[in-house]
Chains A and B, each alone.
Chain A
Amino acid sequence: EAQVTQNPRYLITVTGKKLTVTCSQNMNHEYMSWYRQDPGLGLRQIYYSMNVEVTDKGDVPEGYKVSRKEKRNFPLILESPSPNQTSLYFCASSPRGVAGVYEQYFGPGTRLTVT
């Protein structure tokens, strides 16, 4: 089944404790992206990747890191989480690098709480 998977689905952590949220897609998509969703603000892009070893900042990249060593995986790293990073996070992928032309496939989401 074609899908985007994220782990963990739920995470409660403390300020400053490094964490990684994994994202994997099995559709051989070139484009992958991370979003955070907060009430009233919609989906804001954190980072995106047009292909392996190619990543770029989105609208809200501060406090986050990403890597794209393999085509299928695009982990999101929070080196020192803070409470303002409490949010619902979505990973998404698209078939091509020109992502605006193609639909995005979203993972199930990761709800992160930082205390």
Chain B
Amino acid sequence: GQQVMQIPQYQHVQEGEDFTTYCNSSTTLSNIQWYKQRPGGHPVFLIQLVKSGEVKKQKRLTFQFGEAKKNSSLHITATQTTDVGTYFCRVRGNKLVFGAGTILRVKS
């Protein structure tokens, strides 16, 4: 069956350092979405990727969809304290599932 794994589970970075989380699927995906959940909050949609090799940017955030459409990454350049939270991928393969999330903590 379809499996999706997010790595790492947890990362603690110094403010100003870069951060990357990966979403890996066992099956080919039709699309992938990324969400951010602040501590104590609810998930908020960030972006959707559909095309093989697609790269999208939102200020310091860069999202990439793999060529084989089985993996994706979210990269944050020069993290800030406002970036703290949990980042989830949501994938559509043979069904819709969320990854377990990557918790990001930023030390100032």
Distance to closest chain B CB from A81 (angstroms) = 22
Say yes or no: A109 contacts B96, CB within 8 Å: no
Say yes or no: A41 contacts B100, CB within 8 Å: yes
* Interface SS, A side: mixed
- One digit per residue, 1 when the CB lies within 8 angstroms of any chain B CB and 0 when it does not, for chain A 4-37 equals 0000000000000000000000000000000100
Q: A40-B100, A42-B101, A59-B97 are in contact. Are A104 and B92 (CB under 8 A)?
A: no
Distance to closest chain B CB from A72 (angstroms) = 18
Partner of A43, one of B43, B44, B45: B43
Say yes or no: A100 contacts B99, CB within 8 Å: no
Partner of A109, one of B35, B42, B98: B42
Say yes or no: B43 contacts A99, CB within 8 Å: no
Distance to closest chain B CB from A84 (angstroms) = 18
Q: Which residues of B contact A101 (CB under 8 A)?
A: 31, 48, 92
CA distance A45 to B44 in the complex (A): 16
Closest A residue to B92 by beta carbon equals A100
Say yes or no: A90 contacts B45, CB within 8 Å: no
Partner of B96, one of A100, A105, A108: A100
CA distance A43 to B90 in the complex (A): 9
Q: Which residues of B contact A105 (CB under 8 A)?
A: 45
Q: Which residues of A contact B100 (CB under 8 A)?
A: 40-42
Distance to closest chain B CB from A104 (angstroms) = 7
Q: Which residues of B contact A99 (CB under 8 A)?
A: 96
Interface residues of B (CB under 8 A from A): 6, 9, 30-31, 33, 35, 41-45, 48, 88, 90, 92, 96-101
Interface residues of A (CB under 8 A from B): 35, 40-45, 59, 90, 92, 99-101, 103-109
